[in-house]
Structure 1
Amino acid sequence: MNGDRLLRGRDGRLSVYQLSGDALLCRAEREPGGPWTTPRTVGGEQRLHPVFAVGQGADGYAHLVAWRPTAKGESGLVHSTHFRPRLAALDWNPIGHPDKKGERTGTPALAVDAQGRAHVFVRGAHGGVSLLAQKEKGGWEPWRDLGGEDVQDGLAAVTGESGRVELYAAAPGAVLHWCQEQPGARPVLTESRPAPVRPGTLYALATSPGSTTLYSTDTSGDLCAWRPGGRPVTVLPSAGYGPVAAVRCDLDGHDCTLLAQRSSSGRVAFAAHPTELESAGAWWTESGPRLALDARVFLTVDEDDRVVAATLSPSTGQLLLTRRKHEPGLALEAWRPV
């Protein structure tokens, strides 16, 4: 997963993570497709900064990482594991700072490998990327410097179908890619590709057994797709200025990638194309009500393999949800508040 906040647990229930003040909350379905619980605090009473990352492994467990204040002018990262949406998550566990100590350095990104080991990536004060990885039998490896220069905030971590962890980042005029050469290995910087990327627009998705795809918006406003080893290609003009969300799904028997973004009109825009065939074309279709400026869109599929979309606004706390109807095409149910 790529830092998404809408997840499907191993029991089929959907859950959503959201910030509220200095706490992280979780809401979950009481049963798949059923009513939702009221928000519950994740990880105990630890006070948090308003940034966090979520990653999910093949076992369905959710891993969460956030920054917390530790002393005046200093912060540290904390980690929690949430095994099932309706159970309490583990208490926050301190995991340190990429520069040993100091203020927070960037928004963390998180991916979980095939063995269930969380990999936490964060920009360091030196402008490169640092990694903290779990050991397979508990505990954490030491912080490692993965290199990079002038890396911008908004890293995108993803686990490929191979189970190996990859990372994408933007730097001035370029996109960067790190990949594990084998499970458990330190990711290495494999490519730096010239590309005029808008900071904060990166989203990575596993799209085939051997590839992951990075979606980003370039400085001209086009939504682009890039797979390492090739060149970035334009998919279509972006619908708005915020980040895009993506999910692979079956649409009438075809393996497709569905994109969603808050449009410039304030509504949610959807577009789909055959997976890894961006040249087939795509176009936006808007749906739902107008949303707050800070609203984000998240996508997943439920236990019936139906697409589920959610919007969440940090300023209002409003959570809206829709599902694909049981009919051909991409017809959606009416958006409803949760």
Structure 2
Amino acid sequence: MPRAKSPQGGPTYSERVNGEWLIRGRDGRLSVYLTSDDTVLCRAERTRGGPWDPPRTVGGDQKVQPGVAVGQGSDGYAHLAAWRPTAAGEAVLMHSTHFRPLLAALDWSPCGHGHPNKKGDRTGTPAVAVDAQGRAHVFVRNIGTGISMVAQKEKGGWDPWRDLKGQGVQGPPVAVTGESGCVEAYAAVSGAILYWRQAQPGTIPVREEPLEAPVRPGTLRALATSAEHTTLFFTDDDSGDLCAWRPGGKPVPLLPAAGPGPIAAVRCELDGHDCTLLAQRSASGRVAFAAYPTEEETAGAWWTESGPQLPDDARVALTKDHEDRVVAATLSPSTGRLLVTRRKDEPGLALKAWQEV
């Protein structure tokens, strides 16, 4: 994606973030992560529900390449992973922890390279999941087009890199921690979705039976939906339908995808029911929302559009604020505009007016 200058004269933004780029920190403040030139930036609320501060650099002075990944642990800490160039044709994966939105993140520190020679060029955008003990697990496509992983040790440092196998991975993987505390990862290949899961927290993820499906690369999104299950959302490249899949079952078409890009998803309470809320930039350029009872895809869902028309590169994110109200945000790398809305304190999914922050 080309980089572009914000019309307000702000930073130059680049590729989208893989993972939860809109999060609620441990102190209840919201923050967003974005990449700019050769740095990662964070914008955060000055007070909970209040005005937003200007972007601040994350990870110190070291330069990193576009394509950062963000994952958040149950402790509220954000873990980031990105590639740093070390020499011509060589790069190393770096990691940083951000404890609270208004505090400086830890400086970038290396977690190595999945290549057997422990060096080589950038192989793809990473994904990050954080287990119940607060240990980051970084997944990335390797030189053999499969997936490799490295995990933090419980008392500091990193375990050895593991080749999780697979071949032909297209687009970035996605990673998620289930309510059981087990880390899972998914990746798209031609005609299928590859899937890895820890048998128990702290173990090495094992490759499970893949799902044969005409998946559209770049549309995977995983969400923990119950104590037993994680639901993976993806776009069927043949039908154009947005599908939901829980390993061990069959994918269920939910509704036609609103647009070509990835969706955002969050669990929330709507009128006393545990629901899954989805959001996506629609083909018309606005944000489309759809909700249904969690893990009850057969109940049906339909899109409702909201907000202004957005540039083609705009991405949507969902989370909940310090009052557990749904918050939606959109960020366009080509314009640098960050728009935010929140759910009103009334029945249904009524949203406040979108505001640029």
Name the TM tier (shorter chain).
over 0.9
> Which one of 259, 278, 295 corresponds to residue 278 of structure 2?
259
Alpha-carbon deviation of 1:50? 1.1
Counterpart position of 1:135: 153
User: For 1:275-314, what aligned pairs fall within 5 Å after superposition?
Assistant: 275-314=294-333
> What corresponds to 2:246 in structure 1?
227
Q: Measure how far apart 1:102 and its partner are.
A: 1.4
User: Is the counterpart of residue 119 in structure 1 residue 98 in structure 2?
Assistant: no
Aligned partner of 2:303: which letter? W
Residues 316 and 330 of structure 2 are in contact (CA less than 8 Å); yes or no, is this contact kept in structure 1?
Answer: yes
Give 5+ residue unaligned stretches, structure 2.
1-17
2:255 paired residue number = 236
Given residue 291 of structure 1, which amino acid in structure 2 is its aligned partner? L
Aligned to 1:271: 290
Deviations 1:27-86 (A, max 9, x none): 111111011111100011211111100011011110000111111111111100000100
- Answer whether contact 1:154 1:201 (CA < 8 A) is retained: no
Q: 1:119-142 CA deviation, whole Å, 9 max, x = no partner?
A: 000000101110000001100001
Residue type of the partner of 1:33? G
Q: Tell me the CA shift for residue 154 of structure 1.
A: 1.9
Q: What amino acid sits opposite 1:229 in the alignment?
A: G
Cα pair 2:197 2:207 within 8 Å, conserved: yes
What is the deviation of 1:111?
0.2
Determine the structure 1 residue equivalent to 2:193. 175
Give how far 1:103 is off.
Answer: 1.3
1:186 aligned to 2:198? no
Look up the match of 1:331: 350
Code of the aligned partner of 2:198: Q
Would the aligned equivalents of 2:38 and 2:66 in 1 still touch at CA under 8 Å?
A: yes
Question: What is the deviation of 1:149?
Answer: 1.5
Amino acid at match of 1:304: E
Q: Is the 8 A contact 1:157 1:166 kept in 2?
A: yes
> What's the % identity of the aligned pairs?
73
- TM superposition shift of 1:181: 0.4
Partners of 1:290 and 1:45 lie apart in 2 by 36
Partners in 2 of 1:303 and 1:252 — Cα distance? 19
Does structure 1 conserve the Cα–Cα contact (< 8 Å) formed by 2:140 and 2:172? Answer: no
Amino acid paired to 1:259: L
Q: Which one-letter code corresponds to 1:126 in the other structure?
A: G
Which range moved further: 29-38 or 323-332? Answer: 29-38
Where 1:279 maps in the other structure, the secondary structure is helix
How far is 1:148 from its partner? 1.0
* Bigger mean CA deviation after superposition, 71-80 or 111-120: 71-80
Partner SS for 1:208: coil
**Alignment RMSD:** 0.8
Q: Is the 8 A contact 1:42 1:89 kept in 2?
A: yes
1:58-137 to 2 correspondences below 5 Å: 58-99=74-115, 100-137=118-155
Give, in whole Å, the separation in 1 of the partners of 2:170 and 2:161: 19
Match of 1:205 in 2: 223
Task: Give the TM-score of the pair, scaled to structure 2.
Answer: 0.93
* 1:51 counterpart = 2:51: no
1:23-34 → structure 2 map (5 Å cutoff) = 23-34=39-50
Instruction: Tell me which residue corresponds to 2:13.
Output: none
Aligned to 1:164: 182
CA displacement at 1:255 relative to structure 2: 0.3
Encode CA deviations 1:302-327: one digit per residue, 9 max, x unaligned: 11110000001112111000000000
Q: What is the CA distance between 1:23 and its match in structure 2?
A: 1.0
Secondary structure of the corresponding residue to residue 210 of structure 2 = strand
1:233-267: per-residue Cα shift (whole Å, max 9, x none)?
10000000000110000001000000000000111
1:217 paired residue number: 235
TM-score, normalized by length of structure 1?
Answer: 0.98
**Residue identity in the other structure for 2:47:** E
- Alignment-derived partner of residue 340 in structure 2: 321
Query: What stretches of structure 1 move > 4 A for 4+ residues in a row?
Result: none
How many pairs are equivalent? 337
CA–CA separation in structure 2 for the residues paired with 1:170 and 1:24 = 26
Point out where structure 1 has 5 or more consecutive residues left out of the alignment: none
Q: What letter is aligned with 2:113?
A: H
In structure 2, the residue corresponding to 1:205 is in which secondary structure? strand
Deviation at 1:189, TM superposition (A): 0.7
Matched, 1:38 2:50: no
- What is the alpha-carbon distance in structure 2 between the residues aligned to residue 311 and residue 210 of structure 1? 31
